[in-house]
Structure 1
Amino acid sequence: MAATVAATGEFGLIAALTGDLAQPPTTLLGPGDDAAVVAAPDARVTVTTDVLVEGVHFRLDWSTPEQIGRKAAAVNLADVAAMGATPTALLVGLVCPPSTPTATAVGIGKALRAEAEAAGAAVVGGDVTGGPVIVLAITALGNLGGRPPVTRAGARPGDVVALCGSLGRAAAGWAVLSRGFRSPREFVEAQRVPTPPYAAGPQAARAGATAMIDVSDGLLADLGHVAAASGVVIDLEVPPVPPRMAEVGAALGVDPLTWLLTGGEDHALAATFPAGTTLPDGWSAIGSVREGDPAVLVAGRPFDADALGWDHFR
C-alpha cells in the first residue's frame, strides 16, 4: 500500500518537499527557519497570491500531480510577469487530506519547484496542513529591476493593444475534458498546464508598455479591468479562429470565438503600447485604445455572450 501523508507525518512531508531545493542568488535564506529572506535589489517587491482548490481549479482524474503543481506555480508567476517584473520566489501553503498519497503531495511540490525554476525563481518556504480537499495557496514575489510597475491604469487613447501567448486553448481543453474526452491533446494539455510567457512581461516593460494584465479569466474580462482602471475604450479586432479549434467547436456545438474571447486559464499577457512602438518579439497587435466610457468592444461592438469571462461567485 502506498504511503500516505498521515503516515509520512508533517515534518517528514516537509523534508520530502524541501530537502534538495536549489536556490537562485536572490534567496538569502531559504526553507528551514521561521521565515525566508529574499533580496529586493531595488528596495521594492511585487507580491501576488492565488488559491487553487481541488474540484474547482484542478481535478486529479484530469491531471497528474506534476501537472497540478506546474499549473499552481504558473498562475502566480504570470501575475508577477504582468507587472513587468521578474519572478524571484514562491511561498507555498499545501492543504491535503490525511489519506493523500505521499507521492501525490511530493509530485505537486516538485513540479511547483520545476516551474518556479523555469521562470528564474525558487520555492523559499511555506506550510502544510490537513483538510478535506487539496488546496494550494501560493504567494509569488518579483523584482522590478528598477523600473516602475506596469499597472492596469496606464492605457491611453491612441495606444495599440497587443498580446503575447495563446488564447482559447485552455477553455477548449476544459470543454473537451468535461465531456469525457482526452483529445485533441494540444487543448487538453493547455488546460492541464498553462505556459505563460514569463519573459514577455519585463520585455514589454522595457519596450514602454503603458498597461498590462495576465489573461487568466478571459480576454474581454481582463481587458475590461484595464479599460475601467484607465478610463478608456478598448476596441479589439475579431481574432482568427485556428482551424483545429474550429473543428473542435463544431464537434461540441460551441462557437470557438467564445473560447478565444472569454475563455480563461491560458495566462497570455495583454498590454498596451504607445502608437508607433515597435512591438517586442512574440507580441502581436490585436486592437486599439480610444476615448470613451470604459468598455471593451470587438470590431466596434459589444460581444454577445452569456458571460465575458470567469467569475468564481457567479
Structure 2
Amino acid sequence: MTIFPAHYSGPTLGEVGEHRAIEAIITAAPSSRNGDDAAVLNHASPNSRAVATTDMLIEGRHFRADWSTPEEIGQKAIVQNFADIEAMGARPIAALLAIAAPPHTPVSYIRGIAAGINERVGEYSAELVGGDLTSGDHLVLSVTAIGSLGGSRPELTLDRARPGQRVVAHGSIGWSAAGLALLERFGRDAVPEQFTPLVEAHCAPRLNPGRGVIARATGATAMTDNSDGLIADLGTIARRSGVGIDLHSADVAPAPLVAEAAELLGADPWEWVMSGGEDHTLLATTAGDPPSGFRSIGRVVRGDGVTINGEDPKYTHGWVSF
C-alpha cells in the first residue's frame, strides 16, 4: 500500500470523490481547454505536423513517495514526456494526465502533482488539457504529450546518423543515477547537502525548453534523449542507422560533483555516466558545429555499436522494463 508523508493531510480521494478531485487538479493546473469531454487544440500552423508520445510513472518503480514531493513527481512526469517531443525536433504544446490512485490518497497530494505539472508545462508555454482519474492499488501516472513539428525539415528520427557526423549532447550525464544512489544509501533527509543538485536531477529533472527545435533548425539529423543510459540510447541510434559511434572520454567524463559522490559511496562514477539514464539529456548527430546549448561528445564512424576512444565501454547495461 502506498504510504504518503504525514504532512499531506486533509480529505482523501475516497472521501471527496472523483469530481471534486478533478476540480482540485484543474485548479492547480488551469487551462481553458480542460474540463470538457475532450480538448480542442488550435490548428497547427501551415506546413506543420502533430507529434504525440506517452509514458508512465509507477510508484515504487519510477518514484518513491518518501523520496519525492508530489510537485517533483509531476515535474518528472512532464520532463520525461516532453523530452521525447524535443528529441524529434518538435515543440511541446499540450499534455494529458491519467492517474490511478488508492482511495486513501490525500487530495492535497494529487493537487501537488498537478501543481508540479503546471510548473513544467508553463516553461514550454504548454498546458495540461485533460486526462482521467481512477482508483487503483498503487499510484500510477500516465502522461500523453502532444507537440508541433513546424517547417519542411525532416523529423529527427533514430535512423539518420551518418559516418563523419558529430555526436552532440545538451544536459548533464550521470547526475540522475548518482542522485538515485545517494537516496538509496541515505534517504532523502540525510543526503549531504552538497549533493542536493544530484538528488534534484533524479527526483525532478530539468530540460531547457526549445533545444530540440534549435538542433533540428540548425541541421541535426538524428536525436534521442538519455532515458535508458548513454551507451544504450546511443546504441539504439547506431543500430537503427547502421553506423558506429565513438565517444571521447574527456567529453563525457564524470562531473566533479558526480565523482565526489562516487568516492563517498565507493562506486565507479563511469557506471552512472554510461548506464545511468533518466537525465533526459538530448543526444544528437549533426554534420555541422554543435547547435547552441550543445557540446560535442564524439563522432559517428563506420562500423557498429558504441565505443569510447575506440575501445568497448566498461559498462553497457541500461534501464529495461522487463
Whether these two folds match at TM > 0.5 is yes
For the residue of structure 1 that corresponds to 2:53, the secondary structure is strand
CA distance in 1, matches of 2:29, 2:298: 43
The residue number in structure 2 matching 1:37 is 40
How big is each residue's C-alpha offset from its partner over 1:243-297, in whole Å with a ceiling of 9 and x where there is no partner? 22212111211110111111111111000001xx1322211100001112x3011
Amino acid at match of 1:170: S
Q: 1:6 to 1:124 in 2, by over 3 A?
A: same
Q: Are the equivalent residues in 2 in contact too, given 1:78–1:197 (CA < 8 A)?
A: no
Alignment partner of 1:205 out of 206, 209, 216: 216
Q: How far did residue 21 of structure 1 move?
A: 4.5
Q: How far did residue 242 of structure 1 move?
A: 2.0
CA distance in 2, matches of 1:269, 1:16: 34
CA distance in 2, matches of 1:312, 1:20: 31
Q: Are the equivalent residues in 1 in contact too, given 2:28–2:112 (CA < 8 A)?
A: no
The residue number in structure 1 matching 2:282 is 269
CA distance in 1, matches of 2:234, 2:209: 19
Q: CA RMSD in A?
A: 1.4
Q: Are the equivalent residues in 1 in contact too, given 2:229–2:278 (CA < 8 A)?
A: yes
Q: How far did residue 120 of structure 1 move?
A: 2.0
Q: 1:250 to 1:21 in 2, by over 3 A?
A: closer
CA distance in 1, matches of 2:254, 2:25: 42
Q: Are the equivalent residues in 2 in contact too, given 1:217–1:264 (CA < 8 A)?
A: yes
The residue number in structure 2 matching 1:103 is 108
Matching of residue 230 in structure 1 with residue 245 in structure 2: no
CA distance in 1, matches of 2:222, 2:317: 20
How big is each residue's C-alpha offset from its partner over 1:143-171, in whole Å with a ceiling of 9 and x where there is no partner? 11124211111100100000011011110
For 1:15-30, list aligned pairs within 5 A.
15-19=23-27, 21-23=29-31, 30=33
The residue number in structure 1 matching 2:178 is 172
Q: Percent of aligned pairs with the same residue?
A: 44
CA distance in 1, matches of 2:66, 2:216: 39
How big is each residue's C-alpha offset from its partner over 1:112-155, in whole Å with a ceiling of 9 and x where there is no partner? 12111112211010000000111000000001112421111110
Question: Which segments of 5 or more consecutive residues in structure 2 lack a partner in the other structure?
Answer: 1-8
For 1:1-314, list aligned pairs within 5 A.
2-19=10-27, 21-23=29-31, 30-39=33-42, 40-41=44-45, 42=47, 44-146=49-151, 147-180=153-186, 181-183=190-192, 184-238=195-249, 239-274=252-287, 277-292=288-303, 294-305=304-315, 307-313=316-322
The residue number in structure 1 matching 2:6 is none
For the residue of structure 1 that corresponds to 2:208, the secondary structure is coil
Amino acid at match of 2:124: A
- Taking structure 2 as the reference length, what is the TM-score of the superposition? 0.91
Question: Which segments of 5 or more consecutive residues in structure 1 lack a partner in the other structure?
Answer: 24-28
- Taking structure 1 as the reference length, what is the TM-score of the superposition? 0.93
Amino acid at match of 1:222: D
Amino acid at match of 2:128: V
The residue number in structure 2 matching 1:26 is none
Q: How far did residue 43 of structure 1 move?
A: 5.1
For the residue of structure 1 that corresponds to 2:141, the secondary structure is strand
Q: Are the equivalent residues in 1 in contact too, given 2:48–2:148 (CA < 8 A)?
A: no
Q: How far did residue 110 of structure 1 move?
A: 1.5
How many residue pairs get matched?
Answer: 304
For the residue of structure 2 that corresponds to 1:37, the secondary structure is coil
